[in-house]
Structure 1
Amino acid sequence: MMRIFKSNPPTHHLLSILFIISFILFYSHTYARAFQLKPGFNAQECEDIFKLNFAFLDTVKANKFPGFLDGYTIHYRSPSVGLDNSSDIWLREDSTVVIMLRGTTATIQSYLEDFYCAMVPANGFVKLSKNKSFEYQLATDPRAAVHAGFLIGFAYLADDIQPKINELYFKGYRKFLVGGHSQGGALCYYFSAWLMQLRAKGVYKDIIIKSYASAPPKMGNMYFAYDYDNANLSLWSFSIVNTADPVPEIPFTTQQIVIDMNDPNPIINLMKRFNDLPLLESIFFKRAFNKMKKRAEKSSEAYQKYLGKYVGNFIHQSLPEMELPEKVKTTYFARPGVPITLSTNDAYWSYYKKAPKYFHHGIDPYRFLLRQYYQGLAPFEPIAEE
């Protein structure tokens, strides 16, 4: 063997060179894959979105966030607009535009946005001020409706950052990633739906849109959810939920028999068949179904009155010139997106055994659970104060 080695020294050097080249190519490929916008849930991409949410904790306007997250550079931070909404635009190293949407803040305006649970059409105009309106289209189905409070937040933010999006599009950026937590998660659906509709109209005709909405409350009716999920083909939008978190369970929802079901309605048709039953049975079933129908209607009407009309009056004190389209008489709230369910387990409850229950809505608990089900992430280190 020694004789062979001595007689062929170039082979040894060639193997060394090939090894080095292979090593470089391997790690270059690995790095490139880490920043590649493609369909499907990506745990590392989701983790990055979680981390970018923490930038909103720093309110210093001049902060350029140097080294905040490897591969990401801050491009723009919006002012606080609408109901105390704000957004960040980051540029990722693979030329992906990352739009981050801030969640609920401690202001009363931000809370009112969450609880303004009227529904309005998913297409229309929002009057922002006396001389300015914002046109929006969030769905193709004319029956689609959305949460009024979150629509207000979206309209003011979209009006602010659309010039930035236009600027980046004309510079050649075609990949867009949208992220947010809680209220910001709800707004993810509006922004990604809006961009998809603009793509369909040819305004941004060749863009790619992907979104990660974490801890999102329900923000539209079932027809919006159908429309949105169909446009994404279950590939590009994800709804990430910690099963101990109460926020994704709100707003309360009431499904009405007449308004909130497709036609022909099997329940209505069934009620018509009661006439074919014996008299006493016909009376019994008709009375039972009418009670259920009327109680659902009363529940929805009360909801629209207290979390629609009354909360809307408070919002107009903050935004006196703002006007929304005419309300849709439904409270059948749903949440779209491919569900990424992060179920709590023994490791989670052991780690957070002393945490208050509402803490399960925080970003760090979501980050902890993400590691329980997806491999390849760095060991968990909390970012927010425990």
Structure 2
Amino acid sequence: MGRGLLYPWDNDCFVVSWTGTNDCIVLTRLLFLFCLLSTTAYTQVLQPHFDKEEYVELLKINKKTHLPLEKWATDSLVTMPEKYAFSYRSPELAFDNRWDLWFHKTQPIAVLSVRGSIATEASWLANFYAAMIPAKGEIEWGKTTKFPYALAESPKAAVHVGWLLAMAHLTETIESKIDSSYQAGVKDFILTGHSQGGGITYLLTAYLRTLQKNNRLPADIQFKTYCSAGPKPGNLFFAYEYEKMTDGGWAFNVVNTADWVPDVPFSLQTINDFTEVNPFSQADQVVKKQKFPKNLVLKHLYNKLSKPSLKAQKNYQKYLGEKVSVAVKKQLPDIQLPEYYESNHYVRTGRTIVLVPDQAYWDRYPNTPSSTEVWTHHLIVPYLFLASRL
């Protein structure tokens, strides 16, 4: 897929990859590049802040990631990125997921762009499979392949199981391309995805940063994340650790306030979702110590407040976990997962860049009740419109 690309970094053009049918890898004048890098101190290119121009380029890349390569030339809605050139497209895996690799034309920066939902049953299974599993554990493919993962250290941290499965299947090619890019002198990587791609990119960011923390990726790699229209990837304890590991301006989720996708998955908080020390965990014991008939009244009120949310959480896990997993098993028959984490307390995660529609936006993209228009505010074109007006 694709072709070899020339990158004129430091006035030295060389082919960093070839993705044609022969799967050749051609490196021209690579020795010169390595000499250059070995004698010149590496300067970090990416900067820790939201960059409007950077994001606009990534939106264009995300649009192309959703399209077949042969349709790029006829895409009249979104132009090609100006600063980046395409290099590699992964095979489709898991829930019809894939990702693209792009390189900056004049600087040693690589972009990993994860595709979002497409119009297939498998793709939407990843979204509907919305039970939570622990953010640290192990997934098995059959009897021989195991995928240990760590996205957070807290045993109370949990994430969306469908997007974790999608991310896990993509990591083999992602880690391979990060390694080959690093060997060619690239130390700055942007991770991005729109919609479902944003949800997967949250988890990919945490996974790669944890690998780096555990010395399984070079310490001098810099990751910067732009989720776009990203949904909620996990619970509060995952969000805490994600925000800590990306602190200082290294991760963003850009959201159009008219878009419904950042509202999902459904979020439900129960008394079990709080930190260990809280006034709610012992409430039933406090009620029991009250004198009759006050204890009966308080117990009735306590049950009225706590039981509906606990029952609802069990139903969410039953239908969005156990029931959907039957269809998932048909897609991934050998998959073995950790036990579900009993929570559906999905929260907004990371630093949010808010795109607020103005009158010019509403004139172009009005609200309509038609079911065919539910994607009006979620597509990349309206996001480009709002981003250009920041």
State whether structure 2 residue 192 is matched by structure 1 residue 179.
yes
Q: Deviations over 1:185-210 (max 9, x none)?
A: 00111111111111111222221111
Which of 201, 211, 215 lines up with 2:225 in the alignment? 211
Mapped contact 1:199–1:206 kept (Cα < 8 A): no
Mapped contact 2:57–2:82 kept (Cα < 8 A): no
Mapped contact 1:77–1:87 kept (Cα < 8 A): yes
SS in 2 for 1:360: coil
* Structure 2 residue aligned with 1:70: 82
Deviates more, 1:158-167 or 1:238-247: 158-167
2-structure distance, mates of 1:98, 1:159: 16
Which has more radius of gyration?
1
SS in 2 for 1:146: strand
Task: Name the CA shift for 1:332/1:234 in 2 (closer, same or farther; >3 Å).
Answer: farther
State whether structure 2 residue 362 is matched by structure 1 residue 362.
no
Which of 314, 326, 334 lines up with 1:321 in the alignment? 334
Q: Which runs of 5+ in 2 are unaligned?
A: 1-43
Cα distance, 1:216 vs. partner? 1.1
SS in 1 for 2:80: coil
State whether structure 2 residue 75 is matched by structure 1 residue 58.
no
Which of 339, 359, 366 lines up with 1:353 in the alignment? 366
Task: Name the CA shift for 1:222/1:72 in 2 (closer, same or farther; >3 Å).
Answer: same
Cα distance, 1:70 vs. partner? 2.1
1-structure distance, mates of 2:248, 2:362: 31
* Structure 2 residue aligned with 1:295: 308
Cα distance, 1:173 vs. partner? 1.9
The letter for the 2-side match of 1:368 is F
Q: Deviations over 1:232-266 (max 9, x none)?
A: 11511111111111111111111110x21101122
Cα distance, 1:357 vs. partner? 3.8
1-structure distance, mates of 2:207, 2:71: 29
* Structure 1 residue aligned with 2:322: 309
Cα distance, 1:58 vs. partner? 3.2
* Structure 1 residue aligned with 2:253: 239
2-structure distance, mates of 1:119, 1:50: 29
2-structure distance, mates of 1:178, 1:97: 9
The letter for the 2-side match of 1:49 is L
Mapped contact 2:65–2:113 kept (Cα < 8 A): no
* Structure 1 residue aligned with 2:173: 160
* Structure 2 residue aligned with 1:29: none
Deviates more, 1:314-323 or 1:68-77: 68-77
Task: Name the CA shift for 1:274/1:129 in 2 (closer, same or farther; >3 Å).
Answer: closer
The letter for the 1-side match of 2:320 is L
* Structure 1 residue aligned with 2:344: 331
SS in 2 for 1:134: strand
Which of 192, 198, 206 lines up with 2:205 in the alignment? 192
Task: Name the CA shift for 1:208/1:64 in 2 (closer, same or farther; >3 Å).
Answer: farther
* Structure 2 residue aligned with 1:88: 100
SS in 2 for 1:361: coil
2-structure distance, mates of 1:114, 1:332: 16
Mapped contact 1:138–1:193 kept (Cα < 8 A): yes
Mapped contact 1:238–1:339 kept (Cα < 8 A): yes
SS in 1 for 2:240: helix
Cα distance, 1:64 vs. partner? 11
Richer in helix (by share): 1
Identity score, percent? 36
Task: Name the CA shift for 1:79/1:137 in 2 (closer, same or farther; >3 Å).
Answer: same
* Structure 2 residue aligned with 1:21: none
* Structure 2 residue aligned with 1:227: 241
Q: Deviations over 1:7-55 (max 9, x none)?
A: xxxxxxxxxxxxxxxxxxxxxxxxxxxx941111111111111110111
The letter for the 2-side match of 1:247 is V
Cα distance, 1:95 vs. partner? 0.9
The letter for the 1-side match of 2:264 is I
SS in 2 for 1:359: coil
SS in 1 for 2:255: strand
SS in 2 for 1:114: helix
1-structure distance, mates of 2:208, 2:136: 13
Q: Report how many aligned residue pairs link the two structures.
A: 337
State whether structure 2 residue 356 is matched by structure 1 residue 343.
yes
Mapped contact 2:66–2:115 kept (Cα < 8 A): no
State whether structure 2 residue 183 is matched by structure 1 residue 170.
yes
The letter for the 1-side match of 2:85 is T
2-structure distance, mates of 1:46, 1:104: 20
Task: Name the CA shift for 1:132/1:269 in 2 (closer, same or farther; >3 Å).
Answer: closer
Cα distance, 1:150 vs. partner? 0.3
SS in 1 for 2:280: helix
2-structure distance, mates of 1:61, 1:41: 32
Mapped contact 2:66–2:116 kept (Cα < 8 A): no
Q: Deviations over 1:139-186 (max 9, x none)?
A: 122221111100110000112322111212233321111111100000
**How does the TM-score come out when normalised to structure 1?**
0.82
The letter for the 1-side match of 2:67 is D
**How does the TM-score come out when normalised to structure 2?**
0.81
